Amino acid sequence: MRAFFALLLAFFALAPAHAQEPATTFIQAGRLLADPATGRVLSAHTIVVRAGRIVDIREGYVGEGEGEVIDLRDRFVLPGLIDSHVHICHENGPDDRVRRTVQTAADLAMDGVHYARVTLEAGFTTVADMGEENDAIFALRDGIARGRVPGPRILAAGNALSPHGGPGDPAGYRPDVGHVLRRPSLCSGADDCRRVTRETIHRGADHIKITATGSVLSDIASGLGQQFTDDEMAAIVETAHALGRRVTAHAHDAAAINAFLRAGGDSIEHGTNLDAESVRLMRERGAWLVPTLLAGETVTRWGNDPNSFLSPAIRDKALRVGPRMIESTRRAHQGGVRIAFGTDASVSRHGENAREFGLLVRAGLTPLEAIRTATVNAAEHLGLADTIGSIAAGKAADIIAVDGDPLADVAALERVAFVMRDGRIHRR
Ligand SMILES: [Zn+2]
Query: For 53-70, what is the mean pLDDT?
Result: 97
Distance from the alpha carbon of residue 179 to the mean position of ligand 1, in angstroms: 22
Ligand 1 center to residue 145 CA distance, Å? 23
**How much distance in Å is there from the Cα of 218 to the middle of ligand 1?**
11
Distance 130 CA to ligand 1 centre (A): 6
From ligand 1's centre to the CA of 66, what distance in Å? 46
pLDDT at residue number 22: 81
| Percentage of the chain modeled with pLDDT above 90 | 94
Contacts of 314 (CB under 8 A, 6+ apart): 216, 217, 218, 219
| pLDDT mean over 73-92 | 98
pLDDT for 4 equals: 55
Cα(145)–Cα(151) distance, rounded to whole angstroms? 9
d(CA 270, CA 10): 61
- Ligand 1 center–CA 395 separation, angstroms: 29
CB 418 within 8 A of CB 48: no
Per-residue pLDDT reduced to its tens digit, 137-159: 999 999 999 999 999 999 999 99
Q: Can you list the domains of the chain with their CATH numbers?
A: 19-80+390-427 (2.30.40.10), 81-381 (3.20.20.140)
Digit-coded pLDDT (tens) for 392-413: 999 999 999 999 999 999 999 9
CA of 386 to the centre of ligand 1 (A): 26
Q: Measured in angstroms, how far is the CA atom of residue 33 from the centroid of ligand 1?
A: 30
Interatomic CA distance for residues 115 and 415, integer angstroms? 18
| Residue pair 425/400 in contact by the 8 Å Cβ criterion | no
Q: Residue 368 to residues 34, 73, 262, 279, 360: CA-CA distances in angstroms?
A: 12, 21, 31, 22, 11
Q: Is the pLDDT of residue 14 over 60?
A: no
pTM of the model: 0.94
